[in-house]
């Protein structure tokens, strides 16, 4: 789908929504209002669960906190619903922040389980507070009022709900395509990638969680003033599961899936309820069974949801165009000063790493000076990648010390080390296959920007985003990947995915580049081009620490070699000396050298 078709579809959708109430009567309009309100909640879930990978079975509880907040303020305190909105946002945000800080550290299945806990307990709490009407809830909540217009009827509040839905989509779309959005899209698949670009996965997840709760809060506020009545049952676990079902039905990977999923599920629910009422007097219970079956079928046959199917049909491919890099007036991102050539920038002393009984890195010491290329070689399993993980902070040391640019980094978290100017690539490619090549590189510049989720969502990050994108283009062009900028990172051949990782590392403006087998999977000519690139970087003053198995490649490239075998360092010296050393030859059984 190209941009024109997209614009046309959005315009068509907006026009349809605008004229719909005149065509579908007040019952239909009320149903559309429910769909709109649900869409807000599900939009948050699509980002949190679909994109961010944190499953929440408790989203209805946030809707409830907001609905009760405004309900209480406007009935018992007689205050304006607009103050109710602020109060609802504040209370829901605070609750999400507190719950998030308590639970988002939990790994694996503990997080979804804990969401069930709050999804159950918060509605129970409402039912037990007398000031909130206990189980009967709060009635006589005032309708919303905009100037002289009272939004009492379905037909009038419709014209508040749907513009709000539109704005929420705009915010979410901007957010997902911002600096914070790239971090959100990288959350799945481990925290190491985010750490390596200087981002804090926990904080990204926490603020995403709060953002999703804020969308639920707006939904809760609209809900309270639309129905003018709140009771605990509307926000129970079943409601939460329904939201999740909507997100899955629509397709958790696509924002538009929120609208789709809410629409399909609520319309179906309406039909199913009608049908079941005829079949049995136990309609409500049967409904759960029917939905359960739909849920399982969806998971089985259409994991991508409705939007996933649509995306597959249209097989869209956006190719972003290179922004005017030179003469548009925006200065490039500032660069950090490089240390004087020849000064020591990395000092590893007695580094030790144990995995249970196995000593993967055993008392390794070496130094790297600014502006040189140091190769780390040794047979498979020698401990090279593990040593890289220690140096970059991706894994904690069991002993020894590591200093970078004169600073002790032994116990610093990975992201802090990255921010000091160390960038890396991974032996086992660490990309998000569905991100575009360009975005994958832009992620590398994360630590050079500062725009958060709010700035991103409100599109107040344009200048910085432009700078980051210009930088990403520059690095892509440098490694020879500019032509594939718009493709999925996962669609590149494996060898080129490694090159893509180099571009991502370069986008961080590193002092030290740590490359783990960058030439693996490349053809001869591509290897030559890579060697040329690395020499160019060295002449610019960037320091490189590299693991590579292709001896021909390494020997011609590096200034110095560190040789490891069985976790220990055999020696460090110039390529010529290393090549002649009998210990090295026997370590390799004389085969490769």
The residues of the shown chain that bind ligand ADP, judged by CB under 6 A, are: 355, 358, 360, 378, 380-386
Which part of the chain contacts Mg ion (CB under 5 A), choosing from 1-9, 407-415, 426-434, 439-447?
426-434
Q: Which residues of 205-230 are buried (b: 16+ CB within 10 A; e: fewer)?
A: bbbbbbbbbbbbbbbbbbbbbbbbbb
Give every CB contact of residue 139 below 8 A, 6+ residues apart in sequence. Answer: 75, 133, 228, 229
Tokens of 401: 């010390």
Tokens of 489: 């990172």
Least separation in angstroms between residue 427's CB and Mg ion is: 5
- Residue 427 or 585: the one with the smaller Cβ distance to Mg ion is 427
Burial (CB count <10 Å: 0-12, 13-18, 19+), residue 302: middle
Q: Which of the choices Mg ion, ligand ADP, none does residue 409 contact, using the CB cut-off of 5 to 8 A by kind?
A: none
Least separation in angstroms between residue 190's CB and Mg ion is: 17
Least separation in angstroms between residue 384's CB and Mg ion is: 5
- Give, rounded to a whole angstrom, the gap between the first and last alpha carbons of the chain: 52
Helix then strand count (H, E) for the chain reads 22, 12
Binding mask 354-393 for Mg ion (x = CB under 5 A): ------------------------------xx--------
Name the residue with the smallest CB distance to Mg ion.
Answer: 385
Least separation in angstroms between residue 359's CB and ligand ADP is: 9
- Residue 183 or 429: the one with the smaller Cβ distance to Mg ion is 429
Could you please report the per-residue DSSP string of 508-528? T--SEEEEESTTTT--HHHHH
- Residue 486 or 521: the one with the smaller Cβ distance to Mg ion is 521
**Is 456 within 8 Å of 174 (Cβ atoms)?**
yes
Q: Give the DSSP H or E segment for 151.
A: strand 149-151
How, if at all, do strands 512-516 and 543-547 pair?
A: parallel
From 344, 363, 365, select the one nearest 354 (Cα to Cα): 363
Q: Which of the choices ligand ADP, Mg ion, none does residue 281 contact, using the CB cut-off of 5 to 8 A by kind?
A: none
DSSP state of 501: H
- Please report how the helices 201-227 and 59-75 are oriented relative to each other, as an axis angle in degrees rounded to 10: 50
- Residue 215 or 360: the one with the smaller Cβ distance to ligand ADP is 360
Tell me the residue length of the chain: 593
Could you please report the per-residue DSSP string of 577-588? HHHH-HHHHHHT
- Residue 60 or 387: the one with the smaller Cβ distance to Mg ion is 387
Least separation in angstroms between residue 395's CB and ligand ADP is: 7
Least separation in angstroms between residue 386's CB and ligand ADP is: 3
Least separation in angstroms between residue 514's CB and ligand ADP is: 13
Distance (Å, rounded) from C-alpha 195 to C-alpha 535? 27
- Residue 55 or 389: the one with the smaller Cβ distance to ligand ADP is 389
Which backbone phi and psi does 103 adopt, to 5 degrees? -110, -25
Q: Which of the choices Mg ion, ligand ADP, none does residue 330 contact, using the CB cut-off of 5 to 8 A by kind?
A: none
Q: Which of the choices Mg ion, ligand ADP, none does residue 434 contact, using the CB cut-off of 5 to 8 A by kind?
A: none
| 427 binding Mg ion? (CB under 5 A) | yes
Q: Which of the choices ligand ADP, Mg ion, none does residue 459 contact, using the CB cut-off of 5 to 8 A by kind?
A: none
Least separation in angstroms between residue 176's CB and ligand ADP is: 32
Least separation in angstroms between residue 356's CB and ligand ADP is: 7
3-state secondary structure of 275: helix
Neighbours of 592 (CB within 10 A): 14
Q: Which of the choices ligand ADP, Mg ion, none does residue 440 contact, using the CB cut-off of 5 to 8 A by kind?
A: none
Give CA separation, 326 vs 329, 331, 369, in Å. 8, 9, 34
Neighbours of 251 (CB within 10 A): 26
- Residue 385 or 565: the one with the smaller Cβ distance to Mg ion is 385
Tokens of 241: 């599961």
**Is 229 within 8 Å of 75 (Cβ atoms)?**
no
- Residue 195 or 456: the one with the smaller Cβ distance to ligand ADP is 195
The three-point CA angle 324-330-334 to 5° equals 115
Least separation in angstroms between residue 128's CB and Mg ion is: 57
Tokens of 516: 């783990």
Q: Give the DSSP H or E segment for 570.
A: strand 568-573
**Is 221 within 8 Å of 88 (Cβ atoms)?**
yes
Q: Which of the choices ligand ADP, Mg ion, none does residue 145 contact, using the CB cut-off of 5 to 8 A by kind?
A: none
**Is 161 within 8 Å of 226 (Cβ atoms)?**
yes
Q: Which of the choices ligand ADP, Mg ion, none does residue 386 contact, using the CB cut-off of 5 to 8 A by kind?
A: ligand ADP
- Residue 243 or 553: the one with the smaller Cβ distance to ligand ADP is 553
Tokens of 95: 């609750």
Q: Which of the choices Mg ion, ligand ADP, none does residue 383 contact, using the CB cut-off of 5 to 8 A by kind?
A: ligand ADP
Least separation in angstroms between residue 428's CB and Mg ion is: 9
Neighbours of 358 (CB within 10 A): 11
Least separation in angstroms between residue 483's CB and ligand ADP is: 32
Least separation in angstroms between residue 350's CB and ligand ADP is: 17
- Residue 379 or 452: the one with the smaller Cβ distance to Mg ion is 379
- Residue 269 or 384: the one with the smaller Cβ distance to ligand ADP is 384
Least separation in angstroms between residue 426's CB and ligand ADP is: 11
- Residue 246 or 587: the one with the smaller Cβ distance to ligand ADP is 587
Q: Which of the choices ligand ADP, Mg ion, none does residue 110 contact, using the CB cut-off of 5 to 8 A by kind?
A: none
Which backbone phi and psi does 362 adopt, to 5 degrees? -120, 100
Q: Which of the choices ligand ADP, Mg ion, none does residue 539 contact, using the CB cut-off of 5 to 8 A by kind?
A: none
**Is 176 within 8 Å of 422 (Cβ atoms)?**
no
Could you please report the per-residue DSSP string of 446-467? GGG----HHHHHTT--HHHHHH
- Residue 281 or 591: the one with the smaller Cβ distance to ligand ADP is 591
Residues 431-460 that bind Mg ion (CB under 5 A): none
- Residue 381 or 486: the one with the smaller Cβ distance to ligand ADP is 381
Residues in touch with Mg ion (CB under 5 A) = 384-385, 427
């Amino acid at each position: 789908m190209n941009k024109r078709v997209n614009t046309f579809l959005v315009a068509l959708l907006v026009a349809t929504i605008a004229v719909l109430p005149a065509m579908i009567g007040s019952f239909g309009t009320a149903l559309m209002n429910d769909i709109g309100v649900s869409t807000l909640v599900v939009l948050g879930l699509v980002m949190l669960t679909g994109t961010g990978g944190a499953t929440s079975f408790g989203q209805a509880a946030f809707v409830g906190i907001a609905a009760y907040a405004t309900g209480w303020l406007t009935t018992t305190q007689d205050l304006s619903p607009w103050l109710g909105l602020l109060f609802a946002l504040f209370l829901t945000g605070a609750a999400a922040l507190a719950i998030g800080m308590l639970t988002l550290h939990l790994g694996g299945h503990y997080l979804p389980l804990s969401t069930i806990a709050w999804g159950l307990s918060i509605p129970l709490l409402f039912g037990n507070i007398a000031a909130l009407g206990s189980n009967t809830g709060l009635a006589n909540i005032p309708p919303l009022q905009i100037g002289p217009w009272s939004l009492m009827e379905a037909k009038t509040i419709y014209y508040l709900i749907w513009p709000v839905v539109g704005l929420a989509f705009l915010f979410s779309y901007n957010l997902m395509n911002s600096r914070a959005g790239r971090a959100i899209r990288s959350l799945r698949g481990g925290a190491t990638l985010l750490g390596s670009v200087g981002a804090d996965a926990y904080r990204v997840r926490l603020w995403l969680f709060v953002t999703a709760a804020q969308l639920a809060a707006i939904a809760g506020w609209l809900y309270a003033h639309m129905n003018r009545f709140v009771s605990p049952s509307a926000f129970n676990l079943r409601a939460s599961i329904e939201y999740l079902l909507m997100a899955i039905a629509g397709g958790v990977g696509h924002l538009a899936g929120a609208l789709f999923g809410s629409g399909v599920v609520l319309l179906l629910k309406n039909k199913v309820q009608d049908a079941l009422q005829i079949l049995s007097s136990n309609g409500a219970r049967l409904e759960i069974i029917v939905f359960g079956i739909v849920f399982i079928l969806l998971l089985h046959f259409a994991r991508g949801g409705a939007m996933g199917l649509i995306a597959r049909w249209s097989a869209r491919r956006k190719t972003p165009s290179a922004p005017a890099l030179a003469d548009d007036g925006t200065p490039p991102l500032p660069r950090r000063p490089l240390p004087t050539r020849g000064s020591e920038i990395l000092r590893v002393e007695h580094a030790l790493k144990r995995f249970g009984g196995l000593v993967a890195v055993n008392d390794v010491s070496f130094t790297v000076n600014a502006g040189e290329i140091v190769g780390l070689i040794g047979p498979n399993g020698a401990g090279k990648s593990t040593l890289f993980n220690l140096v970059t902070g991706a894994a904690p040391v069991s002993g020894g010390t590591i200093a970078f640019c004169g600073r002790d980094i032994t116990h610093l978290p990975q992201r802090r080390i990255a921010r000091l100017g160390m960038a890396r690539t991974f032996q086992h490619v660490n990309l998000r296959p569905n991100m575009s090549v360009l975005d994958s590189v832009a992620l590398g510049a994360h630590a050079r920007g500062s725009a958060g989720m709010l700035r991103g969502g409100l599109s107040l990050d344009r200048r910085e985003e432009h700078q980051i994108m210009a930088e990403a283009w520059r690095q892509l062009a440098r490694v020879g990947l500019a032509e594939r900028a718009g493709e999925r990172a996962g669609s590149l051949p494996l060898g080129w995915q490694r090159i893509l990782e180099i571009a991502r590392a370069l986008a961080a403006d590193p002092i030290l580049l740590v490359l783990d087998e960058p030439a693996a999977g490349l053809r001869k000519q591509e290897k030559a081009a890579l060697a040329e690139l690395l020499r160019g970087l060295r002449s610019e003053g960037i320091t490189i620490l590299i693991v590579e198995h292709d001896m021909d490649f390494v020997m011609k490239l590096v200034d110095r070699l560190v040789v490891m075998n069985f976790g220990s360092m055999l020696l460090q010296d110039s390529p010529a000396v290393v090549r002649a050393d009998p210990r090295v030859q026997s370590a390799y059984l004389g085969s490769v050298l």
